[in-house]
Amino acid sequence: MKNSHFFENLATPLVMAILNVTPDSFFDGGLLCGKKDKISLDLVVKRVDLLVKSGANIIDVGGESTRPGAKSVGLQEELNRVIPVVETIVDRFEIPVSVDTSSPSVITESANAGALMINDVRALSRKGAIDAVASSDLAVCLMHMAGEPTNMQLNPSYNNVLDEVSDYLLARIKLCEAGGIDRKKIFIDPGFGFGKTLENNLELFRGLNKLSELGFPLVVGLSRKSMVGSILNKPADGRLFGSIALAMLAIQKGAKILRVHDVEATVDVLKIFNAIEEKGSI
């Protein structure tokens, strides 16, 4: 499997480029769709080529929107969207591919298509998901989400958001290890914006360094999210600078992978960070 050990060396933070093959994602939905909302592989190739040239380290393919209020997608539709895209990227590019999915069948088919990682907002909680990852050579990112995308923002409530997110992720890790997944292949994501108020998100961010100390590489997705919009009072297309500021703060707090829409700007941030930390040069 190409680059099968890629995620085992995280000496410096990496940039995970978001590639939504959906018509309804909150920022870039429909970007890669041609006629009748069908994914254009030609557009995919052009987009991935740009992301690679911009410095992306990983491409994260998503076939189902998980924005607040998003409707679920049928299994066959998700497979139709995701698998040809993964196959195309693996065939034409050297960059590792992650797949944003919760469905065991999509996990298995993504592995067969050459993906190296699963990025699951439901932390492998669907029946068969742990087995699907365990039977492959896939790495996995387990994310915290309170509820489902359809209802997660209706009334989120925590006594202590940092402790509850940490406890949830550790519990999921325990189940994954019991199910045969190598702990060296497990990543964690606190799930900013997934069943959390602005204050929850801010409190969670302030405690990122504690999550990074749990012993698993930390993935952070803050790019253009409503958290940034609420602070700045700006729509999604006006949140670049705020997203970049949070990216720099996140890596200072121990984030190892930044999941972003704006690759070139984030790569510039990492170059500055690495130069200051003497891990690289501008």
Q: Which CATH code fits 12-276? A: 3.20.20.20
Check residues 106 and 21 and name the one with the higher pLDDT: 106
> What's the pLDDT at 32?
65
Task: Check whether 1 has a pLDDT greater than 50.
Answer: no
Alpha carbons 223 and 214: distance in angstroms, whole number: 23
pLDDT in tens, 100-113: 999 999 999 999 99
User: What tens digit of pLDDT does each residue of 160-204 get?
Assistant: 999 999 999 999 999 999 999 999 999 999 999 998 999 999 999
pTM above 0.85, yes or no: yes
Domain extents for the chain?
Answer: 12-276
Residue 248, pLDDT > 80, answer yes
Q: Is residue 122 among the annotated active site residues?
A: no
Among residues 225, 253, 256, 279, which one is catalytic?
Answer: 225
Active site residue 259: yes
Catalytic choice (67, 81, 172, 259): 259
Closest CA to 186 of 148, 235, 230, 138: 138
Report d(CA 112, CA 165) in Å as an integer.
32
* Structure tokens belonging to residue 278: 């003497």
